[in-house]
């Protein structure tokens, strides 16, 4: 039993010794990292104001900076302001020969910094940026990794609101291209050149979801710009968005079709229900005008005609045409009836005048020949006599002006009858 206790005691003592040695090794390793940082970034040893050398340490060659990014989300695409918001992880990588260090036989893979002002940084900016901010919760979302061969990796998470000029001629059946442009602000291409990282320079989160758009594809390209002060390196990403039509089908197209169909209901109402027809036509007209103004309120006041303007204009024309058709047909029907009544009254008046003239002539002849001894047949027959009526008709025919064939008058004469049928 005693020997067993001695063995356990020796084993426990050995474990304590090994743990203390491991902790000392870790402490020594961290101290070596600190020494390496002090060695390469110490006072008087590294100047962050001087840019790194070019390829293979060439002083006159430009510094090459490789860029890649990860699109985390696209929050909104604003048609009215012509802008979109994006959150991304932005990365830059370049080589600085002054930052080389000993990796301690592969045990020290890289050094990590959180202060960007400790090393030289490219003066990159987003040329089409409207607003932007860094993320500082809980700690600033930024880091710098320095590798043993002098390679530097800079990574930061940022949110940007970028300008996106849009062409809305085919709205809402359009596709929009929104760009993200990055350029050097002060270093020309003789000193600094931005390049896309080989392989997969732009990555997009898999579950990216937009309410009214779909990201079809994205393309990377170069957009170097020349100014009076020189040529500056520039990179760009073109994001191709396709607008979803289902939202506009439910919110715009189907309601407009329903309003046009409702305006046609007035054609089936009773011809005497004038207030109902007028109220229905005016209501659908005002509703269609409100729908049109609501659509245009969410779009910028552009100078060209959009596809949605053509659609709403045609629908508004149909609704207004239904109301105008009823007004014209009703007016034409009433004017036709009035003309027909006036014509009948004139014929009756002429008939009464002719009958009265015939009676007066007959009475004069009877008074003149009242003393004659023989029976005389009256020259003018009684108003009810068929011969007198026939003469009266002939007289009316001769009194009417001669008719001339006219296509327009013939069509207009038939229009009141057609209007009454439509009513």
343-401 pLDDT per residue, tens: 566 666 667 767 677 676 666 655 555 544 444 444 444 544 555 555 556 555 555 55
User: What pLDDT is stored for residue 270 in this prediction?
Assistant: 75
Residue 117 has pLDDT above 90, yes or no: no
Least confident of 1-15, 139-153, 294-308: 1-15
Q: Which residue has the higher pLDDT, 340 or 90?
A: 90
User: What pLDDT is stored for residue 369 in this prediction?
Assistant: 54
Least confident of 1-15, 172-186, 243-257: 1-15
Least confident of 36-50, 157-171, 285-299: 36-50
Q: Which residue has the higher pLDDT, 23 or 141?
A: 141
Residue 232 to residue 190: CA distance in whole angstroms: 9
Q: Which residue has the higher pLDDT, 382 or 35?
A: 35
User: What pLDDT is stored for residue 204 in this prediction?
Assistant: 93
Q: State the Cα angle at 328 between 322 and 329, rounded to 5°.
A: 90
The owner of tokens 């990014």 is: 69
Which of 42, 44, 61 is closest to 53 using CA atoms? Answer: 61
User: What pLDDT is stored for residue 10 in this prediction?
Assistant: 56
Residue 234 has pLDDT above 70, yes or no: yes
Residue 105 to residue 80: CA distance in whole angstroms: 59
Place 276 in a pLDDT band, splitting at 50, 70 and 90.
Answer: confident
Q: Which residue has the higher pLDDT, 416 or 360?
A: 360
Residue 127 has pLDDT above 80, yes or no: yes
Residue 285 to residue 318: CA distance in whole angstroms: 9
184-220 pLDDT per residue, tens: 999 999 999 999 999 889 999 988 888 889 999 999 9
User: What pLDDT is stored for residue 377 in this prediction?
Assistant: 46
User: What pLDDT is stored for residue 164 in this prediction?
Assistant: 94
User: What pLDDT is stored for residue 44 in this prediction?
Assistant: 76
Please give the share of the chain, as a percent, with pLDDT higher than 70. 72
User: What pLDDT is stored for residue 153 in this prediction?
Assistant: 95
Residue 172 has pLDDT above 70, yes or no: yes
Q: Which residue has the higher pLDDT, 361 or 289?
A: 289
**Full set of structural domains in the chain with CATH:** 55-244 (2.70.170.10), 245-367+379-423 (1.20.58.390)
Q: Which residue has the higher pLDDT, 386 or 225?
A: 225
Least confident of 52-61, 127-136, 396-405: 396-405
Residue 22 has pLDDT above 60, yes or no: no
Residue 259 has pLDDT above 80, yes or no: yes
- SS3 of the chain: the string is CHHHHHHHHHHHHHHHHHHHHHHHHHHHHHHHHHHHHHHHHCCCCCCCCCCCCCHHHCCCCCEEEEEEEEEEEEEEEECCCCEEEEEEEEEEEEECHHHCCCCCCCCCCCEEECCHHHCCCCCEEECCEEEEEECCCCCCCEEEEECCCCEEEEEEEEEEEEECCCCCCCCCCCEEEEEEEEEECCCCCCCEEEEECCCCCEEECCCCCCCCEEEEEEEEEECCEEECCEEECEEEEEEEEEECCHHHHHHHHHHHHHHHHHHHHHHHCCCCCHHHHHHHHHHHHHHHHHHHHHHHHCCCCCCCCCHHHHHHHHHHHHHHHHHHHHHHHHHHHHHHHHHHHHHHHHHHHHHHHHHHHHHHHHHHHHHHCCCCCCCCCCCCCCCCCHHHHHHHHHHHHHHCCCCCCCHHHHHHHHHHHHHHHHC
User: What pLDDT is stored for residue 211 in this prediction?
Assistant: 84
User: What pLDDT is stored for residue 363 in this prediction?
Assistant: 66
| Entry pTM | 0.69
Query: Which one of 58-67, 233-242, 364-373 scores highest in mean pLDDT?
Result: 233-242
């Amino acid at each position: 039993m005693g020997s067993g206790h001695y063995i356990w005691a020796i084993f426990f003592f050995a474990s304590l010794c090994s743990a203390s040695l491991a902790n000392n090794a870790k402490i020594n390793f961290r101290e070596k990292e600190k020494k390496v940082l002090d060695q390469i970034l110490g006072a008087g040893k590294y100047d962050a104001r001087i840019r790194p050398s070019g390829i293979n340490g060439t002083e006159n060659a430009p510094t090459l900076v490789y860029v890649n990014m990860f699109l985390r989300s696209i929050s909104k695409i604003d048609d009215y302001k012509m802008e979109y918001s994006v959150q991304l992880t932005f990365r830059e990588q370049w080589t600085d020969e002054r930052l080389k260090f000993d990796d301690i036989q592969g045990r020290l893979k890289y050094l990590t910094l959180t202060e960007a002002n400790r090393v030289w940084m490219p003066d990159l900016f987003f040329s089409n940026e409207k607003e932007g901010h860094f993320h500082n919760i809980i700690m600033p979302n930024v880091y710098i990794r320095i590798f043993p061969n002098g390679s530097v990796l800079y990574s930061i998470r940022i949110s940007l609101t970028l300008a996106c000029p849009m062409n809305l001629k085919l709205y809402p059946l359009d596709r929009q291209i929104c760009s993200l442009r990055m350029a050097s602000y002060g270093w020309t291409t003789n000193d600094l050149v931005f390049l896309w990282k080989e392989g997969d320079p732009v990555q997009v989160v898999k579950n990216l979801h937009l309410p009214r758009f779909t990201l079809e594809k994205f393309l990377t390209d170069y957009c170097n710009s020349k100014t009076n002060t020189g040529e500056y390196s520039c990179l760009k990403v073109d994001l191709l968005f396709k607008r979803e039509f289902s939202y506009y089908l439910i919110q715009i197209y189907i309601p407009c079709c329903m309003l046009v169909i409702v305006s046609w209901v007035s054609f089936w109402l009773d011809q005497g229900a004038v207030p109902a027809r007028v109220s229905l036509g005016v209501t659908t007209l005002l509703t269609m005008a409100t729908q049109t103004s609501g659509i245009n309120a969410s779009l910028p006041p552009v100078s060209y005609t959009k596809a949605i303007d053509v659609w709403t204009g045609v629908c508004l024309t149909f609704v207004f045409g239904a109301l105008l058709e009823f007004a014209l047909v009703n007016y034409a029907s009433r004017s036709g009836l009035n003309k027909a009544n006036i014509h009948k009254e004139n014929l009756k008046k002429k008939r009464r005048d002719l009958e009265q003239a015939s009676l007066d002539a007959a009475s004069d002849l009877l008074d003149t020949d009242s003393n004659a001894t023989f029976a005389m047949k009256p020259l003018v027959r009684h108003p009810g006599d068929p011969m007198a009526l026939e003469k009266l008709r002939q007289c009316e025919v001769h009194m009417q002006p001669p008719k001339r064939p006219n296509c327009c008058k013939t069509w207009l004469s038939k229009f009141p009858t057609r209007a009454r049928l439509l009513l």
